[in-house]
Amino acid sequence: MNTNNNLYTIVYATLMVVATAAILAFVSMALKERQQKNIDMETQLSILSAVSLAADANSADDKIAYVQNEYDKYIKNSYLVNYKGETIPGDAFAVSLKSQYDLMKQISSAPEQEKEALKARLQLPVFECTLDSGEKVYIVACYGAGLWGPIWGYIGLKSDFNTIYGAMFAHKGETPGLGAEIATPAFCAQFKGKSLFDGDTFESVEVKKGAEDGNPHQVDAVSGGTITSKALSSSIRQWFENYVPYLQLSAAKAEASVEQ
């Protein structure tokens, strides 16, 4: 065959493209299960980190197995709740936080007559964690838009459904040394002991520059990370506003159980 003619070039290029595509498809399929296990492990680790568990994950010989065992040991139940605070069918672990965040944005900008139908589509994840002490902590999620990309986190609540037990936050592209500080243990530790309600009134927890000492609803913002801090504060409020019916119903049930 004349290797200098156009037909040869076209056939050769076509075969190379097909062969390369086939190899890439094979590799992708071969790695798909492993990739999904890594994604699941990172989510499990984030949930556990909200209550200061699985701290030794990075030093484990088999990180995936270690995190899975810790998750199975401490997360005894998980479920979805709707905007009325009712438990609904679905997998709390599999729900997309981004899709729920996008839906919340739709709700906030929708005409009043459309809000109810949109709210009915909300699926909010809850993870019940039983600590070694026997104490139960209820872990909920948040997600939003930071300065350069998404920010998200998990927040653990004590059984009064008001007091924060712990929190963890993460980001995709915030500036190192500035907005990225929301993922540090020092920043997250500020949330421990803070309150969501003032009596029966929902207050949330504000990430604020110059937070007042002793204020149960404020934590110090990241120095030099004003935009990220405000975005996180807004995301926490937005998600908890939707969790409020669940928190109030659960608190009422817990109180009634104690009285009995």
Which amino acid does the sequence have at 132? D
d(CA 260, CA 104): 38
Amino acid at 51: V
Q: Is the dihedral of CA 237, 182, 102, 42 positive or negative?
A: negative
Cβ(38)–Cβ(92) under 8 Å?
no
DSSP code per residue over 126-194: EEEEE-TTS-EEEEEEEEEE-SSSEEEEEEEE-TTSSBEEEEEEEESSPPTTTGGGGGSHHHHHTTTT-
Largest Cα–Cα separation, the chain: 92
What was the pLDDT predicted at 10? 67
Which pLDDT score, from 0 to 100, does residue 186 have?
95
Query: What is the chain's alpha carbon radius of gyration, rounded to the nearest angstrom?
Result: 23
Q: Residue 215: which residues within 8 A CB-CB, separation 6 or more?
A: none
Strands 164-171 and 197-198: unpaired
pLDDT at 30 (0 to 100): 59
> Are 208 and 219 within 8 A, CB to CB?
yes
Q: List the end-to-end C-alpha distance of the chain, in Å, as a whole number.
A: 91
pLDDT in tens, the chain (260 residues): 555 666 666 666 677 777 676 666 665 565 556 677 889 999 999 999 999 999 999 889 999 999 999 999 999 999 999 999 999 999 999 999 999 999 999 999 999 999 999 999 999 999 999 999 999 999 999 999 999 999 999 999 999 999 999 999 999 888 888 899 999 999 999 999 999 999 999 999 999 998 999 999 999 999 889 999 999 999 999 999 999 999 999 999 888 877 66
Coil vs helix vs strand at 45: helix
pLDDT of residue 33: 67
State the pTM of this model.
0.86
Which contacts (CB < 8 Å, 24+ apart) does range 46-50 have? 46/152, 46/153, 46/154, 46/168, 46/170, 47/71, 47/75, 47/127, 47/129, 47/139, 47/154, 48/74, 48/75, 48/129, 49/154, 49/168, 50/139, 50/153, 50/154, 50/155, 50/156, 50/166, 50/167, 50/168
| Amino acid 174: pLDDT | 87
Give the phi and the psi of residue 241 in degrees, each rounded to 5.
Answer: -60, -35
Rounded CA-CA distance 102/220 in Å is 27
Q: What are the structure tokens assigned to 80, written together?
A: 């979805």
Bridge-based pairing state of the strands 201-202 and 197-198: antiparallel
